[in-house]
Amino acid sequence: MSAPENKKWKIIGGILFVIGIALCGIFFYSLAWGTLFYDPSYWWDLVIGIPLVAVGTYLVNKK
């Protein structure tokens, strides 16, 4: 892979990582304030956030 193309994937991976961390943060914020217990839709933030963090980490660390 060429250097500019590799840098492009690292930037995309970083953006996905940040979005995933933000979604996981929303989940833990709702858990801390107790809103998770009467609005279970916050679980989707965790379900979507963890794979985004994983894919973003993979893209950033790929050679």
Q: Where are the domains positioned within the chain?
A: 3-61
Residue 62 and residue 9 in contact, taking contact as beta carbons nearer than 8 Å: yes
The 10s digit of each residue's pLDDT in 14-25 is 999 999 999 999
Q: If pLDDT is split at 50, 70 and 90, which confidence band does 51 have?
A: very high
Alpha-carbon distance of 38 to 59, in angstroms, equals 36
Residue 62 and residue 12 in contact, taking contact as beta carbons nearer than 8 Å: no
What's the pTM value of the predicted model, to 2 decimals?
Answer: 0.84
